[in-house]
């Protein structure tokens, strides 16, 4: 055998090895098979096994190909300590797999069995009032409990041994909807003190950073620092540190599950997060393999929900998943309320298409069959408790058929990376829950409706980024409502702007340091030294002006062609010796002062919004700023349409409004095939019926 032959043989072998092993690797962009997935949360543990075959036939009728199983079934998996029974779960998975339906397994750690509760009642959370929670609900246990952590590790490890390589299982979900509900036990206190010591090193450093001389709050040792409670007006730095600590304990607890699963399984792992959460998903998803969320849509709030899919995509973990959404209506809670009604025909289908259009691989309803007893019985489902089809079963069937038809196309035409990024921060959310400054502010809603929607309704394609994201490949960044910008991010932004980036900063950004304290050198700290834009003074306005108050009106530079608007949230008076004023205040204590200023910095530009100018004005400012950065909008026309570019000049479009919408696509392509119905569109001017969906391939 010649050396060249041996070399070629080894190259071929290596190539084949990569192809074969890629099937079990994580982070390859999609999970399971290269197809779109559509399914539901399935709880076979509460139904006779004789029902499974009937369920499968109806799943196939809907073109469903994935089920999410196991997340609350610990007592069925381990009915007695150390005695496991997975036989029933094996049979369910095998039947589903034989019918072309894959499974995502949830770890059941949110609901420990009664034998464990009786043996270790100390693992349950202790409230700030000294009340110990007990068995009977979910997520009642303390994430810091050594006992709870160990038993969680054991059940996860045993599940991974059983199902880590089982045909039909394509992924894992940790626990269920982690919540930021703290524990006040002595065990948690020990973790808290240790966390403080690790972060601040010395008590003198903590005292200096928090300025504890104020109100005589100085500490002599870490052990004196309390776990903050709601009935005491605690120091804001202490309260924010406590939320960060609680988040870190959730991450530690999840990491125990990840290590246990990865010991025996190479399948990708995620968690089912919730929008608007205080849980810091920037931290929680760092060690996960793909991104997922639970969105309970209401047709009145599709414009709020849209940002979540851009956020999932911005995490850079490949195709994302929608793990829970109501197939028709949502309900439950301790009062059995009904929420999020899908009252309009076609609206639910449009909601799920918004998810797939934005870069999802899968979506699953909660739940497959309505609970026959227990909590959350009022919740909507695909089947009723008595086995009847839901009222909108035909709409679900249409959706399944469309997903089946477009699966190959959508998977082969992924969403490209955007040129614009807008930042979202759970840490900022937690800070603003402690200190509003602008009265009435609610981070998730205000961030979305005041700022995100200005970008989305201008049809400027964007990714939603966390502050730790790599920003190198973006041409424009928009950072509103981020009070506490880290030193690391400030340095990263300076380098990026000077290299040519366009930064839109504010409002309500960079006025707090990492400990939620004020800068003492300048209002926005170091940013003011390199941006060339300084703050003279601040007047808070709030989310709503009282009738007796004088409005702060905004007068824009004539070339922007923006009508006069009213300032919102707060008012900064800005100055710059080299910058250009884009808007000044007309009326109020800042009359005649600069409200919006832009300045060239190196090869780039910084634009500081000293106030919220309102959506109409902000849209025009962002469009003009993007144009100067070489970025064009995807379309022009009516608002509330989801437009997402896909590879090779393809585009997915979803009207998320109950009204007809008219658009003109900014595309050189004039002829498209709508692959949903194989029709041909010969114009870039579109009239979209309520909740209409288009998946367009360039011809």
What is the distance between the alpha carbons of residues 311 and 293, in angstroms, rounded to a whole number?
10
The three-point CA angle 483-489-491 to 5° equals 120
SS3 state of residue 599: strand
**Does residue 177 carry a catalytic annotation?**
yes
Cβ atoms 452, 422 nearer than 8 A: yes
What is the distance between the alpha carbons of residues 365 and 584, in angstroms, rounded to a whole number?
49
- Token pair of 198 as six digits: 């690790």
Catalytic hit among 324, 402, 494, 598: 324
The three-point CA angle 266-260-17 to 5° equals 20
Burial 209-242 (b: 16+ CB within 10 A, else e): bbebeeeeeebeebeebebbeeeeebbbbbbbbb
Q: Residue 101, exposed/middle/buried by CB under 10 A (0-12, 13-18, 19+)? A: buried
The three-point CA angle 338-448-269 to 5° equals 70
What is the distance between the alpha carbons of residues 699 and 567, in angstroms, rounded to a whole number?
46
Among candidate residues 326, 327, 406, the one with its CA nearest the CA of residue 360: 406
Q: Residue 448, exposed/middle/buried by CB under 10 A (0-12, 13-18, 19+)? A: buried
Cβ atoms 176, 272 nearer than 8 A: yes
What is the distance between the alpha carbons of residues 91 and 52, in angstroms, rounded to a whole number?
10
Cβ atoms 183, 126 nearer than 8 A: yes
What is the distance between the alpha carbons of residues 361 and 371, in angstroms, rounded to a whole number?
27
Among candidate residues 577, 535, 536, 581, the one with its CA nearest the CA of residue 558: 581
Among candidate residues 483, 416, 424, 490, the one with its CA nearest the CA of residue 452: 424
Catalytic hit among 51, 128, 177, 436: 177
- What are the catalytic residues? 177, 324
């Amino acid at each position: 055998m010649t050396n060249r032959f041996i070399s070629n043989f080894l190259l071929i072998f290596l190539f084949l090895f990569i192809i074969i092993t890629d099937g079990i690797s994580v982070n390859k962009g999609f999970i399971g098979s290269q197809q779109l997935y559509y399914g539901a949360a399935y709880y076979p543990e509460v139904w006779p096994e004789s029902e499974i075959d009937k369920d499968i036939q109806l799943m196939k009728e809907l073109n469903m190909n994935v089920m999410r199983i196991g997340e609350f079934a610990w007592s069925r998996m381990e009915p007695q300590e150390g005695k496991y029974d997975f036989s029933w779960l094996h049979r369910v998975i095998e039947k589903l797999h034989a019918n072309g339906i894959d499974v995502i397994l949830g770890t059941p750690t949110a609901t420990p069995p009664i034998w464990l509760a009786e043996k270790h009642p100390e693992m349950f959370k202790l409230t700030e009032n000294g009340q110990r929670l007990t068995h009977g609900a979910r997520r009642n246990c303390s994430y810091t409990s050594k006992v709870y952590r160990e038993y969680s590790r054991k059940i996860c490890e045993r599940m991974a041994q059983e199902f880590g390589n089982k045909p039909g299982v394509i992924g894992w979900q940790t626990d269920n909807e982690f919540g930021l509900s703290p524990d006040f036990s002595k065990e948690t206190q020990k973790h808290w003190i240790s966390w403080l010591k690790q972060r601040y090193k010395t008590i003198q450093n903590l005292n200096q950073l928090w300025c504890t001389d104020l109100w005589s709050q100085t500490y002599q040792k870490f052990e004196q620092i309390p776990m903050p409670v709601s009935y005491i007006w605690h120091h804001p730095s202490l309260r924010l540190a406590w939320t960060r600590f609680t988040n870190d304990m959730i991450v530690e607890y999840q990491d125990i599950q990840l290590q246990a699963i990865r010991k025996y399984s190479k399948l990708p792992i995620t968690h089912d997060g919730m929008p608007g959460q205080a849980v810091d998903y920037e931290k929680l998803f760092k060690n996960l393999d793909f991104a997922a969320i639970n969105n309970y849509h209401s047709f009145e709030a599709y414009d709020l929900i849209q940002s979540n899919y851009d956020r999932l995509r911005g995490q850079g973990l490949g195709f994302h998943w929608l793990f829970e959404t109501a197939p028709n209506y949502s309900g439950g809670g301790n009062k059995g309320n009904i929420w999020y009604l899908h009252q309009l025909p076609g609206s639910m289908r449009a909601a799920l298409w918004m998810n797939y259009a934005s870069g999802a691989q899968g979506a699953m309803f909660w739940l497959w069959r309505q609970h026959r007893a227990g909590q959350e019985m009022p919740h909507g489902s695909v089947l009723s408790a008595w086995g009847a089809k839901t009222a909108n079963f035909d709409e679900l069937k249409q959706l399944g058929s469309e997903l089946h038809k477009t699966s190959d196309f959508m998977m082969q035409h992924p969403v490209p990376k955007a040129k614009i990024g807008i930042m979202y921060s759970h840490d900022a959310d937690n800070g603003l829950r402690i200190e509003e400054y602008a009265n009435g502010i609610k981070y998730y809603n205000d961030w979305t409706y005041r700022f995100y929607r200005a970008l989305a309704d201008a049809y400027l394609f964007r990714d939603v980024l966390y502050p730790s994201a790599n920003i190198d490949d973006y041409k424009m960044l928009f950072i509103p409502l981020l009070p506490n910008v880290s030193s690391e991010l400030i340095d990263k932004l300076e380098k990026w702007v000077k290299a040519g980036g366009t930064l839109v900063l504010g409002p309500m950004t960079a006025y707090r340091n990492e400990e939620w304290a004020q800068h003492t050198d300048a209002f926005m700290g170091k940013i003011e030294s390199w941006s060339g834009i300084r703050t003279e003074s601040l007047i808070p306005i709030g989310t709503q002006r009282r009738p007796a108050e004088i409005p702060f009106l905004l007068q824009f530079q004539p070339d922007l062609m923006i009508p006069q608007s009213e300032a919102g949230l707060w008012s900064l008076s800005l100055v710059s010796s080299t910058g250009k004023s884009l808007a000044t205040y007309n009326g109020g204590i800042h009359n005649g002062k600069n409200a919006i200023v832009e300045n060239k910095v190196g090869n780039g530009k910084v634009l500081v919004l000293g106030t919220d100018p309102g959506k109409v004005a902000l849209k025009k400012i962002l469009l003009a700023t993007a144009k100067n950065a070489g970025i064009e909008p995807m379309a022009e026309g009516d608002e509330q349409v989801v437009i997402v570019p896909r590879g090779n000049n393809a585009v997915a479009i979803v009207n998320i409004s109950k009204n007809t919408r008219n658009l003109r696509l900014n595309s050189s392509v004039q002829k498209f095939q709508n692959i949903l119905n194989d029709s041909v569109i010969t114009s870039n001017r579109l009239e979209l019926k309520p909740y209409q969906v288009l998946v367009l391939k360039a011809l």
